[in-house]
A and B are shown apart, each in its own frame.
Chain A
C-alpha cells in the first residue's frame, strides 16, 4: 500500500477501498465473494481446512477469476460454525464440513443454486433461513463493537479502510481539538466495558489534566473471566478498530505510546494484532507525525503469562513493567500515576472498539442507544446450557429473557432454566425472577451480580449451585495473588468450608461462618479480585438457600452433582441383565448374572465415574 501521509491521501484511500469492498459485497466486480469464519471457535472446527479445500476446488474448476475467498472474524453464532457466507446473494451456510465443500462449489458457485441442506433451520418454525439477518439469533442484535467482524479480512488494512476504518481518526485529527474529543466521549455516556463501568470520558479527562513529558494508553486484553471471549473475537475480527480507538484516546489526552496487553492464550488474536500494527506502521498510520499532523503515536504489544489477576488494571501495569502481577494501592489512580509512574488510562478492548463509532456518528446519536445510566451496546459471550452458544451484541437495557430465550434460543433438551451467571468469578447468579431485568451496569449490581466483562453462563436444573460456587472459589483461590492476607488466606478457608458442604460434612454454623468470612474478605482486600471474591458464594447462598440447606441438613445434592452426596443406581426392573455396565466398570463394583439376575452397584467401592450410566443401552441406570 502507498504511504498515507496526509488527511487527503487517507480520504482518497478510504474512498477507493470503500468502493472495492462495496463492489465485492454487491458483486459489482463480476465476482462472487466467499467469506469463511476464521475465529478461534471455527478454526478449532476445521475452517482452515475448508479454506484450503475451497481454494483447491476453485482452482480445479477454473473459477479463480469468478470467486474471491477470504477468512473473516467471528460470526458470533459459534455453536453453528464453521460458517461460509457468499456474496452478493448473502447466503449463509452453517456447520459446513469438509465433505460439503464440493457441493457448495458445484451447486452454488457453478450452478448458482442455493444448497438447501446447508442452510440454518429455525428450530421453532422449522423453516430454512438463507440470510444471516433473518436468523432469530441476529435479529435483536446491534453490532457496534463487532463492526466489521465477519465482514472484513482482519489481515488486510485495505479491508478495514473500506469498511469505516480510520474515518474517526481522520475526523479527530483534522476537525477536533483534544478537548473536543474528550467532551464528545463524555457526552456519549460510554462507560468502561471491562467490568467496573467507570465513565471513559472522565478517565481521559483526569489524564488530560496531568502535566507530563510522556503519557500512555494501555489496552486491557487480558480477558481472564472463564467463559468470556468477546475481547478475543474483536481483536481477531477487527484489530484495526481497536488500534484506532486507542489512537483517538491517545490524541485526546496527549499520550504518544500505547500498550496492548493480551492473554498469551489467544495466539490468533495476538498474531492478527501484531500484523495490523506492523501494516499501519508501514503506511505511516502509526509513527511520527501521523497524517502530517503534530500527533505521533506508537503501539506495542505485551503478552500475559497466565495470571487472572492481571486483568486488574494496576496489576496489569506491574506485569507490563516486568514484575509480579500484584495490584497497587489506589490512589494514586493510573490516570495520575500509571505505567512507569506516568499518567496512563487503561481501557478495555471493547471500550476502545466503540470509540471510532462514537466519533463517526456523534455523541447524541450514540447516547440514544441504551438506558439512562448505561449507554451503547454490550457484547456478551453466551455459554453453558444454552442452545445458541456464541457472541452477541445487544443494546444496554435488553432484558435477560430476550438474551437467553430470543437470541440464545433457550435451554437445550427442554431442561428448565435455573440461573445465569454474569460477571465471571466476581459476579453473581441471576434467576428466573430476574429475567425481565433490563441489563445495565446499575440494575445488575442492584440484583447482586455485576456486568463484568460480559461472560454470561447459563445453568439448567442439572447444575448444582453449591458446586458452581465451589468451582469459582477454587478458581479465586488459585488466582489470588497473595498480597492481601484476607484474600490469600480467607479464600482458601472459604474453599475448605465449601468443600465440607459439598461433601456433606458441614453443619448450619458452617453457613454462618462462611457469610462472616465472605464479608471480611470483601472489606479487607486491595483490589477487585478480593473485594468481589465472595460474590459467587453470597449470590448463590441468597438465591438458592434451599440447595445449601439440602447439602447441610439433609446431606443430599438435589441436582445429583456432588459426588459424595449422590449414588448411581440400577433399576432392577428396567435392567435387561446384559452385563454391559459390569464389563465397563473400571473398579469392578457391579455384579449380577448375565441373563439371569439384575445388576447391582456396590456403593462402597463405586468411584462415581458415570461410565455405567452413559453406557447403559436401556436407561436403567440413574443418579439419586
Chain B
C-alpha cells in the first residue's frame, strides 16, 4: 500500500510534535490512531524512520494495545459494553443482535466499510446498563428490540449523504 504524501507529512509532523517528550512512542501512536483511524505497517515504518525506534518494537506496541488498529475501522464504530455491570444486565444479547443483523463478529468491519462492531470493556456508564456507543455517542439502557432502529438511524444518514 502506498502512503499518500500528505499522510506521510502528517505522520512526520506528529512525530516531531511529540519528539521532545521522554519516551514519546505511545503519544505518537495515539495521535496517529486518532487522526487516521489505523496504523498500518507502512506508517509504522515512517515512525521508525523519524524516531529511530525499530519497526519490530513499534509493531509490538501497536499490536499489544487494543486502541491501536492495523486495519481501517468502519465509518461507524459500534461499541457494545461488556463490562460486568452491563453483562449481568444482558448486554451479550445486544452484541448477539448486532452480530446477526450485520453479519459480522465483534472486531470485524462490514464489507461496505460502514460498521465496525467492538466489544468494549466498561465505559463507566454502569448506571445506564446495558450501554453501547456509536462513534462515542452513548446509548443508555439498550434493549435488543432497539438495535434495528439504531442501525437504521445511521443507514438513513448514508442515504441522505
Whether B66 and A224, one on each chain, are in contact in the complex, defined by CB atoms closer than 8 angstroms, is no
Q: Which residue of B lies closest to A457 (CB)?
A: B84
Q: Chain A's nearest CB lies how many Å from the CB of B73?
A: 13
In the complex, A160 has a CB within 8 A of chain B: no
In the complex, A305 has a CB within 8 A of chain B: yes
Q: Which residue of A lies closest to B85 (CB)?
A: A383
A308 and B122 alpha carbons, distance in the complex (Å) = 11
Of A390, A475, A614, which is within 8 A of B144 by CB?
A: A614
Of B53, B127, B138, which is within 8 A of A79 by CB?
A: B127
In the complex, B80 has a CB within 8 A of chain A: no
Q: Chain B's nearest CB lies how many Å from the CB of A590?
A: 17
Whether B128 and A41, one on each chain, are in contact in the complex, defined by CB atoms closer than 8 angstroms, is yes
Q: Which A residues lie within 8 Å of B29 (CB)?
A: 305
Q: Which residue of A lies closest to B24 (CB)?
A: A322
Q: Which A residues lie within 8 Å of B84 (CB)?
A: 226-227, 383-384, 421, 424, 455, 457, 471-472
In the complex, B67 has a CB within 8 A of chain A: yes
In the complex, B125 has a CB within 8 A of chain A: yes
Q: Which A residues lie within 8 Å of B64 (CB)?
A: 307, 324-325, 481
Q: Which residue of A lies closest to B81 (CB)?
A: A226
Whether A45 and B122, one on each chain, are in contact in the complex, defined by CB atoms closer than 8 angstroms, is no
Whether B65 and A384, one on each chain, are in contact in the complex, defined by CB atoms closer than 8 angstroms, is no
In the complex, A91 has a CB within 8 A of chain B: no
Q: Chain A's nearest CB lies how many Å from the CB of B79?
A: 10
The A-contacting residues of B in range 89-118, CB under 8 angstroms, are 89, 93, 96-97, 100
Whether B87 and A471, one on each chain, are in contact in the complex, defined by CB atoms closer than 8 angstroms, is yes
Of B30, B53, B57, B82, which is within 8 A of A264 by CB?
A: B30
Whether B65 and A307, one on each chain, are in contact in the complex, defined by CB atoms closer than 8 angstroms, is yes
Q: Which residue of B lies closest to A460 (CB)?
A: B88
In the complex, A413 has a CB within 8 A of chain B: no
Of A319, A323, A475, which is within 8 A of B121 by CB?
A: A475
Whether A614 touches B145, Cβ cut-off 8 Å, given contacts A385-B88, A463-B88, is: yes
Interface string of A407-439 (1 = CB under 8 A from B): 000000000000001001000000000000000
Q: Chain A's nearest CB lies how many Å from the CB of B71?
A: 16
Q: Chain A's nearest CB lies how many Å from the CB of B46?
A: 17
Q: Which residue of B lies closest to A586 (CB)?
A: B100
A571 and B39 alpha carbons, distance in the complex (Å) = 54
- Which size bracket describes the interface of B in this complex? 35 or more
Interface string of A255-277 (1 = CB under 8 A from B): 00000000011110000000000
Interface string of A587-614 (1 = CB under 8 A from B): 0000000000000000000000111001
Q: Which B residues lie within 8 Å of A472 (CB)?
A: 84
Q: Which residue of A lies closest to B143 (CB)?
A: A614
In the complex, A191 has a CB within 8 A of chain B: no
Whether A81 and B85, one on each chain, are in contact in the complex, defined by CB atoms closer than 8 angstroms, is no
Interface centre among A44, A264, A457, A475, by most chain B C-beta atoms within 10 angstroms, is: A44
The B-contacting residues of A in range 44-79, CB under 8 angstroms, are 44-45, 78-79
Q: Which B residues lie within 8 Å of A264 (CB)?
A: 30, 67
In the complex, A511 has a CB within 8 A of chain B: no
Having A223-B124, A228-B124, A304-B67, one finds 19 other A-B pairs with CB under 8 Å, namely A40-B124, A44-B125, A45-B140, A225-B122, A226-B84, A226-B85, A226-B121, A264-B67, A305-B29, A305-B67, A322-B26, A383-B129, A384-B126, A421-B84, A457-B88, A468-B88, A471-B84, A471-B87, A614-B145
Q: List 7 A-B contacts (CB under 8 A).
A: A40-B124, A226-B122, A266-B124, A307-B64, A385-B88, A459-B88, A586-B100
Identify the 4 closest CB pairs spanning chains A and B, nearest first: A78-B127, A226-B83, A383-B85, A322-B25
